[in-house]
Amino acid sequence: MRPTTVMRMMTNDEDLAEAAAAGDGVAFGSLLDRHYDRLFAFCFRLTGSRSEAEDLTQDICAALPAKLASYQRRAKVTTWLYRVAVNAAHDRRRKRATYTKATEGWGDWEINRTAANQETDAQLDWLTVAMNQLGDDLRDTLALVLDDMTHAQAADVLGISEGTVSWRISEAKKMLRAIKQKEDMT
Amino acid sequence: MTDDLDDLKSMMADATPRPDAARRAENLALAQRNFDALQGSQGDARPTAGTGPKGLWTGVKTMMNAMTSKGGLTATTALVACGFLILTPQGQGLLRPPSPPQITMTEFDGTLRGPVVTETAVGEMQTADDAPVSAVREETALKTPATDLAFENSSDTAEAMASDAAPQLSASPLIDALEVAPPAPQDEIAESIASTTTRMRVAGQVAPTEAMPTAPAAVTPKDDYRVAPTPDTEAFANADSNPLQITAETPVSTFSIDVDTASYAVVRSSLMRGQLPPSEAVRIEELINYFPYDYAAPDTNEAPFRPTVSTFQTPWNADTQLVHIALQGQMPAIADRSPLNLVFLIDTSGSMDDPAKLPLLKQSFRLMLDQLRPEDEVAIVEYAGSAGQVLAPTAASERTTILRAIQSLGAGGSTNGQGGLEQAYSVAEGMAENGEVSRIILATDGDFNVGLSDPSALTDFIADKRETGTYLSVLGFGRGNLDDATMQALAQNGNGTAAYIDTLSEAQKVLVDQLSGALFPIAGDVKVQVEFNSAQIAEYRLIGYETRALRREDFNNDAVDAGELGAGHSVTAIYEVTPVGSPAQLSDPLRYAPAATVAGSDELGFLKLRYKAPGEAVSQLIQTPIRQAGGPDSEANFATAVAGFGQLLRNPQYLGDWGYDEAIALAAANRGEDAFGYRTEAVQLMRLAQSLSE
């Protein structure tokens, strides 16, 4: 009657999400298992700190069952999942802002990192500084595009127009280039 | 341009750490828990839009889910402050109307000490309630009312807090515990007061209405003073109500019998607290099968049980019929039963420290002890902080030793039952000799931390042990933490029964009056399959048995487990059928349907039963056609009234105008002999439910 685990492996995300929305716990479990790592990586991109990313992922996991109700078949599961993640990150930042620690995420990283390679270190520093200087909007957009999303998909996730995404990306690029130039000069 | 991004991308990919494996597992588990909790609270994912109370609930859940640890902590700290106001004795004194004198369970000791416990004794208990508090007190009962109350309340708090069902957001246990709290503290206070007063009103209402020997209000004095916890952490096993089936499409209906009674007791306990039971707590077949019925018993050389089928008009629908299928198990001569090996596996974790739990359990086992023979053996294993064997296998004749061991049980500590269940099984296996029946009786308030934490591993373990001939029955005590779903799963897999003990009279029913049925199986894996004749029956609907549905092909598969029938047990199943051409038919006939094949047959359907004799692996078949016959006797009428009552509590969509008045009249008129007063009590519960539903 119920699809077996083997069959599940073949099932696409959208079928799984629909089954989960209808109350199938196994479907929900395998869907989340399938996407957890990618979700975590995305959370890291959004927050810039491992511990923040872990916490954000936890928030999302906790809220996801209730959010399932909002899942609509016509959306791709990844799109929907990223939308949930971006919203959760927003919520988190808003709460953080009240503690006046708005940019702590990428700052923490500086303290926490234990990278061995000197050269990587330098690159990471650059990444930290660069990401920190971008505003939240640009960072979110960049995080999506860096995850192989097209501008159209990113627009869908963020609920903005494709043109805005393209504009934000070019803004981000401009800023990154400026940062780079500044560094090269020093 | 693109190069910038590509660089950044590869840099980012290098920088991105792997998710922490432990956190990953934790988060996945958290999500699954929340998912399950959400399913439970919504009923089994009905595809309707979130409206009314369900939508509200989802909203609350979503809000709780969206709350992060800090927000949650802030919100809930305030709430807990209010909670302490309600839950501490001092705070309560301010909030509560004056309560009747505190009565601890131990006061019943004196009354029940007598050698024979009869209905009269229960009647006496009623009077004992009115007696001053200075009744007989025992060494364990030397608690002042004030301390008792404190205990009670602290355990309530713990129950309310230690919630699995509520969404949890943070790894910190403190915050987990706090997340449970409902939205507005003021509301909670108001609700507590309201529910307390409701309960007082209800209690006042029950006692005088009818002189009933078993008036449960009198037996559960706790209800009169207790601020009941919201049953947030309770999990019930249930599924959507069986839908109407169209005979031409699905002519065959298959299910396993169910002789559990837990659902009835849970319903009763809710009603006695002045609340309608949650609809998922109502399993109609368990309500019906709670009552003993006087069906025709099989002859000695026949199969171990006899099926009786009767059909009659549906009380709630003039155009449909009920097919009433009754199985009556034979009652083997009790005198020559084989010796029994009983292992009591008792939860003594801190949450059991509640008058309705451990003390009631001790009383219950005392009652049961009187039913045992000298050659029977009893062992006791407890699981809690101090897990271990409390009583080595002891002959039932050594009454004092056993009584002392029961009395020594004390609740305390966290539940750390590593190996509790394994130990019980190994003790049981050590006791078993040829021809003896071994059974583990697990008594708990819902904490199934018996050594195997994974529920599926637990049921697998029990199913595996079932093959060795050791059965497992589960007794549930207390409300608030009751894990009915796990209880059901364990008992079903352990070839045992699940019962919920809320009062001493229920303990008497389960452990004294119906002990032999509960302990001596006469037929195993009893499955029922009915094939309806589409030439006669257009539509049918099985009332209840949602959690016992089997697939059609499982009927002939002896490897598929099903319910056990105990000595003297009776099982009732009721179908509502719509004859062909009846105006009550809900679906239109198909224009292109193949012509009915056996139009000449006047049979309504064909009943097939499979069962295994105890200890055998191959099933036997009983079959009989269902004909238009019989007509209702008082037994069938009473079962019908209970079926109607169950539907009123659960989902009255098929009942039309038929309501509590009709159910009460039908049940009251068909109480029959009712030697133990169960049916009278049922009528009383229907009246309670009626006033609560208005």
Confidence of residue B577 (pLDDT cuts 50, 70, 90): very high
**Which portions of chain A are predicted below pLDDT 50?**
1-8, 99-119
CA distance A18 to A69: 9
Residues B422 and B438 in one domain: yes
B99 in Cβ contact with B225 (< 8 Å)? yes
CA distance B690 to B276: 9
Residues B447 and B541 in one domain: no
Residue in chain A lying closest to B27 (CA):
A58
Tokens of B508: 């008497």
Residue in chain B lying closest to A109 (CA):
B15
B592: number of Cβ within 10 Å: 4
Residues of B whose CB is below 8 A from A173: 1, 4-5
Of the ranges B57-61, B274-278, B325-329, which one carries the lowest mean pLDDT score? B57-61
Q: How many helices and strands (H and E) does chain B possess?
A: 24, 16
Helix (H, G, I), strand (E, B) or coil at B566: strand
pLDDT, greater one: B195 or B668: B668
Residues B315 and B365 in one domain: no
- Closest approach of chain B CAs to the CA of A103, in angstroms? 18
Any idea which residue has 């009314």 for tokens? B52
User: In the predicted model, what is the mean pLDDT of residues B15-19?
Assistant: 77
Kindly state whether residue B546 falls inside one of the protein's structural domains.
yes
Residue after which a domain boundary falls, among B503, B530, B552: B503
Residue after which a domain boundary falls, among B440, B474, B503: B503
- Closest approach of chain B CAs to the CA of A63, in angstroms? 5
Question: What sign results for the dihedral spanned by CA atoms B35, B41, B45, B51?
Answer: negative
Residues B360 and B308 in one domain: no
Is this prediction's pTM over 0.80? Answer: no
- Closest approach of chain B CAs to the CA of A95, in angstroms? 8
Residues B275 and B342 in one domain: no
Which residues lie closer than 8 Å to B79 by C-beta, 6 or more apart? Answer: B178, B181, B185, B188
Q: What's the pLDDT score for residue B88?
A: 53
Kindly state whether residue B577 falls inside one of the protein's structural domains.
yes
Residues B398 and B533 in one domain: no
Task: For residue B385, give the amino acid letter.
Answer: G
Chain segment B474-484, per-residue pLDDT in tens: 888 876 666 67
Chain segment A7-46, per-residue pLDDT in tens: 445 577 888 888 888 888 888 888 888 888 888 888 888 8
Q: Which of A39, A49, A58 to mutate to test the interface with B (most CBs of B within 10 A)?
A: A58
Q: What's the pLDDT score for residue B594?
A: 62
Contact A173 B169 (CB under 8 A): no
Contact B23 A54 (CB under 8 A): yes
CA distance B163 to B176: 8
Which residues lie closer than 8 Å to B400 by C-beta, 6 or more apart? Answer: none
Tokens of B449: 């931390």
Contact B31 A61 (CB under 8 A): yes
Chain B interface includes A71 (CB < 8 A): no
Residue B445 pairs in a beta bridge with none
Residues B428 and B282 in one domain: no
Kindly state whether residue B206 falls inside one of the protein's structural domains.
no
- Output the domain CATH number for residue B356: 3.40.50.410
Residues B340 and B310 in one domain: no
Residue after which a domain boundary falls, among B503, B536, B570: B503
pLDDT averaged over every residue in chain B: 71
Chain A interface includes B167 (CB < 8 A): yes
Question: DSSP string covering A149-171, please?
Answer: --HHHHHHHHTS-HHHHHHHHHH
Q: What's the pLDDT score for residue B157?
A: 40
Contact B36 A69 (CB under 8 A): no
B241 in Cβ contact with B651 (< 8 Å)? yes
pLDDT at B394 over 50: yes
Length of chain B: 694
Chain B interface includes A65 (CB < 8 A): yes
Tokens of B465: 């042990």
Kindly state whether residue B403 falls inside one of the protein's structural domains.
yes
Residues of B whose CB is below 8 A from A58: 23, 26-27, 30, 169-171
Contact B31 A91 (CB under 8 A): no
pLDDT at B574 over 90: yes
pLDDT at B649 over 80: yes
Residue B550 belongs to domain spanning: 245-332+522-586+598-693
Q: What's the pLDDT score for residue B543?
A: 93
Confidence of residue B565 (pLDDT cuts 50, 70, 90): confident
Number of structural domains chain B divides into: 2
What's the CA angle centered on A145, arms A143 and A151, to 5 degrees?
A: 135
Chain A interface includes B583 (CB < 8 A): no
Q: What's the pLDDT score for residue B96?
A: 47
B496: number of Cβ within 10 Å: 28
B611: number of Cβ within 10 Å: 27
Residues B555 and B460 in one domain: no
Tokens of B626: 């269902």
B199 in Cβ contact with B273 (< 8 Å)? yes
Helix (H, G, I), strand (E, B) or coil at B476: strand
Residues of A whose CB is below 8 A from B20: 54
Residues B341 and B488 in one domain: yes
Kindly state whether residue B684 falls inside one of the protein's structural domains.
yes
Residues B384 and B533 in one domain: no
Q: What's the pLDDT score for residue B465?
A: 80
CA distance B575 to B425: 39
Q: What order of strands is seen across the sheet that includes strand B340-347? A: B388-395, B377-383, B340-347, B437-444, B470-477, B498-501
Residues B481 and B555 in one domain: no
Can you list the domains of chain A with their CATH numbers? 1-100 (1.10.1740.10), 113-186 (1.10.10.10)
Option in A40, A63, A176 nearest B19 (CB) = A40
Kindly state the DSSP code that residue B600 receives in the 8-state scheme. Answer: T
pLDDT, greater one: A96 or B326: B326
Question: DSSP string covering B215-228, please?
Answer: -HHHH-THHHH--P
A95 in Cβ contact with A169 (< 8 Å)? no
Alpha helices by DSSP H, B289-411: 358-369, 399-408
CA neighbor of B221 nearest in space, from B346, B350, B114, B135: B135
Option in A36, A95, A126 nearest B71 (CB) = A95
Kindly state whether residue B153 falls inside one of the protein's structural domains.
no
* First CA to last CA distance, chain A: 68
- Output the domain CATH number for residue B287: 2.60.40.1230
CA distance A55 to A75: 26
B274 in Cβ contact with B510 (< 8 Å)? no
Option in B4, B20, B68 nearest A176 (CB) = B4
Of the ranges A118-132, B58-72, B93-107, B383-397, which one carries the lowest mean pLDDT score? B93-107
pLDDT, greater one: B147 or A152: A152
Kindly state whether residue B260 falls inside one of the protein's structural domains.
yes
Kindly state whether residue B239 falls inside one of the protein's structural domains.
no
Chain A interface includes B134 (CB < 8 A): no
Torsions phi, psi of B607, nearest 5? -100, 125
User: How many contacts (CB atoms, under 8 Å) link A and B?
Assistant: 126
Confidence of residue B387 (pLDDT cuts 50, 70, 90): low
Of the segments A165-174, B163-172, B173-182, B432-441, which one has the largest average pLDDT value?
A165-174
B287 in Cβ contact with B642 (< 8 Å)? yes
